[in-house]
Amino acid sequence: MAASSPISNTVYVGPFVHSESLSTLEIQERGAIFVDSDGIIRHVEKDIQEGDLPNLIQQKGDSWTDAKIVEITGTGFFFPGFIDTHVHAPQHPNTGLFGKTTLLDWLQKYTFPMESSFSKLPLAHRVYQNFVSRTLSHGTTTAAYYATIHVPATNALADICLARGQRALVGRVCMNSDLSPEYYRDSSTETSYADSKASIDYIRSIDPKGEIVKPIITPRFAPSCTPDCLNAMGRLAKETDTHVQTHISENKGEIELVKELFPDSKSYADVYDTHGLLTDKTILAHAVHLTPEERKLVLQRKSKISHCPASNTAITSGCAPIRDLLDEGHTIGLGTDVSGGNSPSVLENVRQAIWVSRHLCLQTSKDKAKLSTEEALFLATRGGAAVVGMQDKVGGFEVGMEWDAQMISLGVVGEDGCRDGAFKEGPVDVFGWESWSDLVEKWVYSGDDRNTVAVWVKGRLVHRTGRFSGAERVATP
């Protein structure tokens, strides 16, 4: 669906759920959120009663009297859009393929061959159109994307995100060392710089205010880049005041390789720091095995962390110590890391973050490592927003923020044990006796994209299933 249709003032009515803090969710059983035609939340009314709405609308003034009303009348709720802080769009055709590999052989066997094929623009278009649809259908309203080394294909990904209305940071992958095969690497530091700059300039030309798409400098990871090239990327980040994303300390073999390749550096984090790449706009994916000194350095530089639990399990990287990192004050979001990760769903990674934290408890006998449902949902929304530098815009439902939201619907089981005919899709069965926090937990632990019936970015409807007509007063299940 193109995101170009004009939007009108809209009042979203029904239950809404969002993070109040790391450990608490606010669950409003019936609220009204007034969103203007720029997609900005202008008023939030809580605890409204049946019949209150006409008066509330009138009180807000003339501009709201003709507002469209989107109402949840069944079992469901509005939830902030998910933020995927680390994902490789060109790896999507490989989703689910990793066998018994770990990072370094996985890159050679699956990843580089697939990514290199993005020199063919029609193929890039096909995969990127499909992947943006896929992530939107899972409620991902913002994504920090790695593309490939190819400028035309990277720019095409930015075009597609802009046209479809998905917020995105889009990065041309920079890699010039001989870790990568000759058929898939930048030919020199000069071309790395020039191509990355060309893609930054293009992305800024199609969305000058960066309202939907922004560029992000993307040195793949230290072993993929020569010291010269890392320096050039650090310089480019400074000259253009651009976000940076890379991988850090994901896998033990990778850490050993970094020690060999950068013998004068104090640590993996120090490699990035000494090349000007640890900034307050840097997103570091994985951070599974950082030392206490590296953690201090990352914190000092105000760089952010993307936790990729499904990927860390799938390619056997390890269990990131998220509780400790949170306690130290790190800013953390969730990343699907497709296709190291086997799912494009942030909801799935909410669950995986919780499972991994429980495995850490089992390994360390420290119950404290366990993440709660509330904490994992915070990472998926407010935490992710802070990682991509959008914490004042998205991740929650406050006045002044933008309407990036998903409508969640849960299936109700009738007296005869059957599911409501029109809305029978989706794995969550609701019997009617559940509390509101039970409903949220049932969604988190057993829901999937079938429960995401509509998705908005900046007030624009960017995805809907047949169960959401987009009409006024939609009776959602």
Where does this chain bind ligand GUN (CB under 6 A)?
Answer: 88, 103, 107, 111, 220-221, 247, 250, 311, 337, 340
Give the ranges where 315-424 is alpha helix by DSSP (H): 322-328, 346-364, 373-378, 384-387
Closest CA relative to residue 246, chosen from 237, 151, 238, 60: 237
Shortest Å distance, C-beta 148 to ligand GUN: 10
Nearer to ligand GUN, 9 or 176 (CB): 176
Choose the contact partner of 353 out of Zn ion, ligand GUN, none; CB within 5 to 8 A by kind: none
Nearer to Zn ion, 279 or 311 (CB): 311
The CB density around residue 44, as the number of other CB atoms within 10 Å, is 17
Shortest Å distance, C-beta 130 to Zn ion: 19
Per DSSP, the residues of 90-159 read GGGGGTT--TT--HHHHIIIIIHHHHHGGGSHHHHHHHHHHHHHHHHHTTEEEEEEE--S-HHHHHHHHH
Shortest Å distance, C-beta 111 to ligand GUN: 5
Taking residues 295 to 334 in sequence order and writing x for each that binds Zn ion by CB under 5 A, - otherwise, the string is ----------------------------------------
Closest CA relative to residue 305, chosen from 351, 246, 355: 246
Whole-number Å distance between alpha carbons of 98 and 242 = 32
Region for 328 from its dihedrals, namely left if φ exceeds 0, alpha if ψ lies in -120 to 50, beta otherwise: alpha
Whole-number Å distance between alpha carbons of 103 and 115 = 15
Shortest Å distance, C-beta 212 to ligand GUN: 24
Shortest Å distance, C-beta 193 to ligand GUN: 20
Choose the contact partner of 140 out of Zn ion, ligand GUN, none; CB within 5 to 8 A by kind: none
Question: Tell me, what DSSP letter sits at residue 195?
Answer: H
Shortest Å distance, C-beta 267 to ligand GUN: 17
Nearer to ligand GUN, 111 or 242 (CB): 111
Shortest Å distance, C-beta 326 to Zn ion: 21
Whole-number Å distance between alpha carbons of 224 and 277 = 14
Cα distance from N-terminal residue to C-terminal residue, the chain: 23
Shortest Å distance, C-beta 175 to ligand GUN: 8
For Zn ion, how many residues bind (rule: CB under 5 A)?
A: 1
Nearer to ligand GUN, 171 or 396 (CB): 171
Nearer to Zn ion, 45 or 337 (CB): 337
Spacing of C-alpha 113 from chain mean position:
25
Whole-number Å distance between alpha carbons of 144 and 135 = 12
Choose the contact partner of 250 out of Zn ion, ligand GUN, none; CB within 5 to 8 A by kind: ligand GUN
DSSP, collapsed to helix, strand or coil, labels residue 466 as coil
The reply to whether 337 sits near Zn ion by the rule CB under 5 A is yes
Give the CB-nearest residue to ligand GUN: 340
Choose the contact partner of 221 out of Zn ion, ligand GUN, none; CB within 5 to 8 A by kind: ligand GUN
Q: Is residue 389 exposed (0-12), middle (13-18) or buried (19+ Cβ within 10 Å)?
A: middle
Q: Tell me how far CA of residue 22 lies from CA of 211, 322, 377, in angstroms.
A: 26, 13, 8
Choose the contact partner of 195 out of ligand GUN, Zn ion, none; CB within 5 to 8 A by kind: none
Choose the contact partner of 284 out of ligand GUN, Zn ion, none; CB within 5 to 8 A by kind: none
Nearer to ligand GUN, 177 or 409 (CB): 177
Per residue, the 3-state secondary structure of 5-50, as one string, reads CCCCCEEEEEEEEEEEECCEEEEEEEEEEEECCCCEEEEEECCCCC
Nearer to ligand GUN, 19 or 311 (CB): 311
Nearer to Zn ion, 212 or 315 (CB): 315
The residues that touch Zn ion, with contacts defined as CB under 5 A, are: 337
